[in-house]
Amino acid sequence: MIRFENVTKSYRRGSRPGLSGVDFEIERGEFVFLVGPSGSGKSTCLRLILREGLPSTGKVFVLGRDLTSIANRKVPYFRRHVGSVFQDFRLLQNKTVFQNVAFTLQVTGASRGYVQQLVPQALELVGLAGKEKRLPHELSGGEQQRVAIARAIVNRPQILLADEPTGNLDPATSIGIMQLLARINNNGTTVVMATHEASFVDQMQRRVIELADGRIVRDERHGGYGDTSGLPMLQPEKQRGAESIAALTAVLELQKSVAVDAAPVSAGAAPQGGGGGVDAVAPASTRDTAAPEAAPEQPADDEPIVYRTGPIEIEIPEMPEVGVADRLGLSERADDDQIGPTS
Ligand code: ADP
Ligand code: MG
């Protein structure tokens, strides 16, 4: 679905290339973390997948297309299949939530009826139903990122690229965004996410491609951000898939932040989601159930932190079917668009 063949990207003559000799292949439906220090080439990778720029040498194949030979006029059609979100949200500040999400569809010439149908579905999916008329500045950071995600997926792309999507958000808010990306992936969208968020990478146990100085130094099927051998880890049941992993991730993250917060103060310290932050609202699915349970006894210094998940139940909301028709190339919008799900 995405393949890099010996890709090098040089920005300036004489300076170190942004990527050198990068080879990898991502299959349909995968969730892949791109990790590595700042300047290691993560964003460069994502930009090449989006065909925002071409490799200096090597080839990039996405959805069966060789992006190095795709005509410029075809690029907008190609990009309909690839949604993207960024650390800084990139919303249109003078447009409402609804208009921001609708805009993506409108520029592709979608009918009014189609817009009226898809935008509410996307907003529902990201948990923003009822906030259609707000302007971006009337939303918290987490809500703004949800708008950006709704915008990225509203036309049901096969691939979602996320460049440090939680980089501007507090930990409690980031959990909700991470759950949302896991849910989108669970519905079949391939997700590639560049991140510095070690805890998510460690707990999701998904594929990790690590870059350093523009080269791949690690490509692990079920990896962590770094050395995870010292981390307590609960293995989710395999059969239950991404939703249970996402739910477990949320629980572990909440418990961990509570444990850390509680350590220097009293045992009853509020969890991160309980107040204070820019966007202190935990995802609705965890807010009521997980937070009260998540205040453990204060661990003694020499005691390992034990995570309890037994009594905590998280409801995973229903999600409308996303993009089956599109992924099968059956959508009515596929007329002038020759990019099919060929790989
Ligand atoms: P990351 O996202 O991992 O922080 P980037 O892909 O942004 O890394 O950058 C990789 C390298 O390429 C860095 O050395 C960076 O300075 C360089 N680079 C990235 N974008 C540009 C650009 N537009 N012009 C010049 N150099 C760039
Ligand atoms: Mg970057």
Whether the CB of 9 sits within 6 Å of ligand 1: no
Ligand nearest to the CA of 34: 1
Residue 256 pLDDT exceeds 50? yes
> 203 CB under 6 A from ligand 1?
no
pLDDT at 160 over 60: yes
Indicate the number of domains in the chain: 1
At residue 290, what is the residue type?
Answer: A
pLDDT band per the 50, 70, 90 thresholds, residue 332: very low
Residues measured by CB to lie within 5 Å of ligand 2, the ion: 42-43
**Contact assessment for residue 68 and residue 54, using Cβ atoms and an 8 Å cutoff:** yes
pLDDT at 296 over 50: no
Closest CA to 259 of 303, 226, 209: 303
Ligand 1 neighbour 38 (Cβ under 6 A)? yes
Question: Which residue's CA is minimally distant from atom 17 of ligand 1?
Answer: 18
pLDDT higher than threshold 50 for residue 329: no
Parallel, antiparallel, or unpaired for β 57-62 and 65-66? antiparallel
Average pLDDT over residues 331-342: 42
Give pLDDT, residue 227.
Answer: 52
Which tens digit of pLDDT belongs to each residue from 74-101?
999 999 999 999 999 999 999 999 999 9
Please tell me if the CB atom of residue 39 comes closer than 6 angstroms to any atom of ligand 1. Answer: yes
- One-letter amino acid at 108 equals T
Q: Is residue 274 part of a domain?
A: no
For residue 214, the enclosing domain spans 2-220
Q: For residue 48, give the CATH number of its domain.
A: 3.40.50.300
pLDDT of residue 253: 60
In a domain, 135, yes or no: yes
Instruction: Give the residue from 288, 292, 224 showing the smallest Cα distance to 258.
Output: 292
> Measured in angstroms, how far is the CA atom of residue 226 from the centroid of ligand 2?
18
First to last CA, the chain: 5
208: in domain? yes
Q: What is the DSSP string of 152-219?
A: HHTT--SEEEEESTTTTS-HHHHHHHHHHHHHHHHTT-EEEEE---HHHHHHH--EEEEEETTEEEEE
Q: What is the mean pLDDT of residues 162-167?
A: 96
Q: Assess if residue 231 is contained within a domain.
A: no
Whole-number Å distance between alpha carbons of 260 and 305: 10
Q: Does 40 contact ligand 1 (Cβ within 6 A)?
A: yes
Label residue 15 by pLDDT band (50, 70, 90).
confident
Whether 182 maps to a domain, the answer reads yes
Q: What is the pLDDT of residues 202-248, one digit of tens each?
A: 888 899 999 999 999 999 888 788 755 444 444 444 444 555 566 66
Q: What is the pTM of this model?
A: 0.71
Give the confidence band of 251 by pLDDT, cuts at 50, 70, 90. Answer: low
Q: Indicate if ligand 1 lies below 6 Å from the C-beta of 36.
A: yes
Q: From the CA of 43, how far away is ligand 2's center (Å)?
A: 4
